[in-house]
A and B are shown apart, each in its own frame.
Chain A
């Protein structure tokens, strides 16, 4: 089979069939379509599991290369990463993900470390606000003025002293912001429908990669 059939035609045919199947499942009351669509979704989960394996292999190869090169101090972290990686996988596979050892590592190390990232957002938000609130144009001035009203009106002492600010904040949030969000949301909805059309009917092929001479 030629490369074009394997890399273009077959994926486009599969996309069309699966796309129409999913639309059929959503709109029509036909039990057989529902069953086939459910099976296709399960295949998707399987493909994802294979990709996870690919990602794990990538982590191991990258870090082994880093250790081999021994540049800077990164390679020391690479050793630690591989120890933790194989240790965690070993315990998970050997003792099961429900074992107390696996749960201990997950609950006392991984979860607290992941949770630490969320409060860090606060500091990044502050610096983002600082950069965003620099007045370089009249639009930025409007942006700062609106942002200032929202920020100040959220402080209880200001809200108690200047009730008009609270009403202004409520108007900005309920009218201006909601209207803008809904406009963007309608655009996203229509854009998604049209992207679906392009993908299902094979007009959009960028995700299938380029061919020599493209």
Chain B
């Protein structure tokens, strides 16, 4: 038994290579050499908050029920928190009402993080007096409570970025019915079609991750997105090569990747 666990040698090598390329792009090439494309869904958030201000209605931002403790859901929740911080900054600046319902008993650890994020955003904009955590961050442990909130509050905008299960469909429909402009994004493959169908703007899968790079335009963050794209091309090449080799009866590459 080696020091690296069985069946994880290639995984570890790839992780090391991805990180090495990211480090190369950040510290050697420099992130300012790369551009990040326009993300319409993120641009729409400011527009949606502006609409809410004009209509005198609230903005609802929700980060799903994935929480931060389960590895497969935590990255999506982290992305959701990033969007929440951005959204809170805009609502604080434009004097819009923000509500951030925290859903699911499985993801309650996000409550204190979300509270601090919103508080910091309001403090940074000098509007801490408008920060009221009990009203702004209600804990609604079942899906129906969020649907009831849609009907009661009738918000002008609903932003859902995080990890969602079947609530993606019922919430998007509930908020769509009250006329809210909607931005949805998740990494749960099976819920992406619901967001694509029911929301006005959608972030598909990995698009929820580079939000902080897009907002901040920090060259170091943009460099990591470029590294990610490089490995997307490498994955594509491996896919084509693997398909050709397997078709020709050669399983060398697929066997290698199993190690």
Q: Is the interface of A mostly helix, strand, loop or mixed?
A: helix
Chain A CB within 8 A of B138 CB: yes
CB distance from A144 to the nearest CB of B (A): 11
Residues of A within 8 A of B240 (CB): none
| 12 A–B pairs (Cβ distance < 8 Å), ordered by A | A45-B69, A58-B138, A62-B135, A65-B135, A117-B143, A131-B176, A132-B198, A186-B235, A188-B189, A192-B187, A195-B79, A203-B220
CB distance from A141 to the nearest CB of B (A): 15
**A190 to B82, Cβ gap below 8 A?**
no
The stretch that binds B, out of A98-106, A119-127, A161-169, is A119-127
Say which size band chain B's interface belongs to: 35 or more
Residues of A within 8 A of B48 (CB): none
A187-B232, A194-B18 known; A55+B111 contact, CB < 8 A: yes
CB distance from A201 to the nearest CB of B (A): 9
A44-B69, A186-B232, A214-B124 known; A191+B205 contact, CB < 8 A: yes
Size of the A side of the interface (Cβ < 8 Å), in residues, is 61
| Contact digits for B1-45, partner A, Cβ 8 Å, 1 yes 0 no | 111110010011001001100100010000000000000000000
**A211 to B8, Cβ gap below 8 A?**
no
CB distance from A82 to the nearest CB of B (A): 14
Partner pick for A192 among B75, B89, B113, B192, CB 8 A cutoff: B75
| Contact digits for B69-85, partner A, Cβ 8 Å, 1 yes 0 no | 10100010011011001
Partner pick for B108 among A22, A52, A181, CB 8 A cutoff: A52
Closest to B196 in A: A132
Chain A CB within 8 A of B129 CB: no
Chain A CB within 8 A of B181 CB: no
Chain A CB within 8 A of B158 CB: no
**A128 to B194, Cβ gap below 8 A?**
yes
Q: A128-B197, A184-B192 are in contact. List 12 more A-B contacts (CB 8 A).
A: A27-B5, A48-B67, A65-B134, A127-B177, A128-B169, A194-B225, A196-B75, A198-B224, A209-B117, A209-B120, A210-B120, A211-B120
Residues of B within 8 A of A114 (CB): 142
CB distance from A57 to the nearest CB of B (A): 9
Q: How far is the CA of A191 from the CA of B186 in the complex (A)?
A: 12
B residues bordering A, Cβ < 8 Å?
1-5, 8, 11-12, 15, 18-19, 22, 26, 67, 69, 71, 75, 78-79, 81-82, 85-86, 89, 102, 105, 108-113, 116-117, 119-121, 123-124, 126, 133-135, 137-139, 141-144, 152, 166, 169-170, 172-174, 176-177, 187, 189, 192, 194, 196-198, 204-206, 208-210, 212, 215-216, 218, 220-221, 224-225, 227-228, 231-232, 235
Q: How far is the CA of A131 from the CA of B85 in the complex (A)?
A: 31
A196-B75, A207-B82 known; A212+B124 contact, CB < 8 A: yes
The 3 closest A-B pairs by CB, nearest first: A209-B120, A191-B206, A132-B197
**B205 to A199, Cβ gap below 8 A?**
no
**B111 to A131, Cβ gap below 8 A?**
no
